[in-house]
Amino acid sequence: MAAEKLDVLMVGPVMPLIEQGISRAFTLHKLWEAPDREALIANLAPRLRAIVAGGGKHEPMGPEFLGRFPKLEIISSFGVGYDHVDAKWAAAHGIVVTNTPDVLTEEVADTALGLLLCTVRELPQAERYLRAGKWLEGDYPLTRATLRDRIIGMVGLGRIGKAIARRLDAFRVPVVYHSRHPQPGVPYRHYPNLVDMARDVDVLMVVTPGGPATKHLIDANVLEALGPDGILINMSRGSVVDEPALIAALEAGKILSAGLDVFANEPRVPPELMAMENVVLFPHVGSASVYTRDAMGQLVVDNLLSWAAGKGPLTPVPESQGVRGRKSEISNQ
């Protein structure tokens, strides 16, 4: 007789590839489709060992929710960012969190360069100009900004930051970076102080993880230091930027422009930003190709398969390193 399939709770909609992959090996429960959500949770709570979390477009996975599942062992989360999951609390309770790093690094770095070039050289605006028939009346104005003779300050130099810096090396654009600790073996100057770096560079490229530790890291002071020719690019999380302070800085000409792939309250974008001509706004498309999203989705499935086969998760987040599961906790009860 075939062994009974383990239950997996999915808290929000995910791509079909994930749903199919999970359904093949597990009994899948969809929280957002349950006619009675509380009844589903109550029914699963005594035995549930695995959760699949989407890309943050659902309720936060904090103690209040996770604490309802005493046998929970793993949360397989889609996306490299996992600020929607309280990974520290999870680790302290023997629950492993996995994310989908590496497979999206080059794609996000490509998009970052695209957003950078679009913002610096006003490429979307120039295209709108052509389509509006304005070229017949005269050339698009020369752009005030350029990458030539400019310095980029990376805010965060993790895997994605390094892949962006590598591209900028090829563009012959100098790179410096700010992070809490200097990175061993990188050729770029490290700034322990973000305001100091903002003062010295022309563009801030934000690629640091989201979450409480980086909330509003880019505030009015940093923007002031970046200065009237400065450009902000945000590829990480909307929470890292104080959005009202950014809007105020753009309106007052305290910085020149911004390129944003992420927003504080996605998919809602502040009307003030929508109305500005000197910003480039992307609908969170950093990793959004079929190729890369398939690879990310497959990793969500593979993490669960590897865990269920007793081989351990493939890509645990740093907080989960060394978490050995809840078996002792449970058998001690």
Q: Min. distance of Cβ 281 from ligand 8YV in angstroms? A: 15
Q: Known catalytic residues?
A: 237, 266, 284
Region 85-104 residues binding ligand 8YV, contact defined as CB under 6 A: 104
What lies within 8 Å, CB to CB, of 184 at 6+ separation is none
Smallest gap from Cβ 317 to ligand 8YV, in A, equals 11
Smaller CB separation from ligand 8YV, 237 or 326: 237
Closest approach of Cβ 311 to ligand 8YV, in Å? 24
Reduced to 3 states (helix: H, G, I; strand: E, B; else coil), residue 314 is coil
**Comparison of 125 and 236: residue with beta carbon closer to ligand 8YV:** 236
Please give the residues from 218 up to 247 whose contact with ligand 8YV meets the rule CB under 6 A.
none
DSSP state of 11: -
Task: Dig out the tokens for 318 from the structure.
Answer: 């740093």
CB-CB contact of 146 with 121 (8 Å):
yes
Site string for ligand 8YV, 56-85 (x = CB under 6 A): ----------------------xxxx----
Q: Which of 115, 118, 116 is nearest to 126 (CA)?
A: 118
With contact defined as beta carbons under 8 Å apart, do 112 and 330 qualify? no
The bridge status of strand 152-155 relative to strand 74-77 is unpaired
Residue nearest to ligand 8YV (CB): 55
The DSSP string of 188-254 is SEEES-HHHHHHH-SEEEE----SGGGTT-B-HHHHHHH-TT-EEEE-S-GGGB-HHHHHHHHHTTS
Q: In angstroms, rounded to a whole number, what is the distance separating the alpha carbons of residues 6 and 3?
A: 9
Binding flag, residue 286, ligand 8YV (CB under 6 A): yes
- The answer to whether residues 55 and 65 touch, using CB atoms and an 8 Å cutoff, is no
User: CA nearest 236: which of 251, 217, 255, 221?
Assistant: 217
**What binding mask, one character per residue, do residues 265-284 give for ligand 8YV by CB under 6 A, x or -?**
-------------------x
Query: Which residue's CB is nearer to ligand 8YV, number 103 or number 147?
Result: 103
What is the C-alpha to C-alpha distance for residues 144 and 304, in angstroms, rounded to an integer? 50
Q: How far is the CB of 149 from ligand 8YV (least distance, A)?
A: 32
Nearer to ligand 8YV, 21 or 286 (CB): 286
In the complex, what is the shortest distance from the CB of residue 99 to ligand 8YV, in angstroms, rounded to a whole number? 8
For ligand 8YV, give the closer residue by CB, 33 or 266: 266
Q: Which residues in the chain belong to E strands, given as ranges? A: 7-10, 27-30, 50-53, 74-77, 96-98, 152-155, 175-178, 189-191, 203-206, 231-234, 257-260, 279-281
For the beta sheet containing 257-260, the strands, ordered from the edge strand earlier in sequence to the opposite edge, are: 189-191, 175-178, 152-155, 203-206, 231-234, 257-260, 279-281
Q: Closest approach of Cβ 298 to ligand 8YV, in Å?
A: 14
Least separation in angstroms between residue 80's CB and ligand 8YV is 4
CB atoms within 10 A of CB 251: 10
How many residues touch ligand 8YV (CB under 6 A)? Answer: 9
Contacts (CB under 6 A) with ligand 8YV, residues 30-59:
55
Q: Which is nearer to ligand 8YV, 98 or 287 (CB)?
A: 287
Residue number with CB closer to ligand 8YV (28 or 80): 80
**Rule CB under 6 A: which residues touch ligand 8YV?**
55, 78-81, 104, 284, 286-287
